[in-house]
Amino acid sequence: MTLQDMLNAMRRSGWRVGAHNDFYLSHSEQWKTFWLFTHPETSAYVEAERATDYLAVQSCMRQAGVRGS
């Protein structure tokens, strides 16, 4: 499953991207990415900070109970 597939699965399940941010941690010299998804109908949210977009969105999918197609 590609990153786009995962984003599509989240959207089909009613989740929307609330925030996405890439940032650099100078103390560890690492890039990180943060994703936050919200569900307008339930006011729920899931979030993850990981080394890649793929891993962060994958974590959000798990938290939200969303499966890919």
Q: Please list, in sequence order, all residues whose beta carbon lies within 8 angstroms of the beta carbon of residue 38, skipping any fewer than 6 positions away.
A: 15, 16, 18, 44, 45
Is residue 68 scored above 80 in pLDDT? Answer: no
- Please give the tally of structural domains in the chain: 1
Are the C-beta atoms of residues 14 and 66 closer than 8 Å to each other?
no
Domain that holds residue 51: 3-64
Residue-wise pLDDT for 20-66, tens only, equals 999 999 988 999 999 999 999 999 999 999 999 999 999 999 999 99
Residue 33, domain CATH: 3.30.160
- Tell me, yes or no, whether 22 lies in a domain: yes
- Tell me, yes or no, whether 56 lies in a domain: yes
Are the C-beta atoms of residues 9 and 68 closer than 8 Å to each other?
yes
Comparing C-alpha atoms, which of 55, 59, 53, 46 is closest to residue 22? Answer: 53
Are the C-beta atoms of residues 22 and 32 closer than 8 Å to each other?
yes
- Tell me, yes or no, whether 69 lies in a domain: no
Tokens standing for 57? 């969105």
User: What pLDDT shows up at residue 69?
Assistant: 63
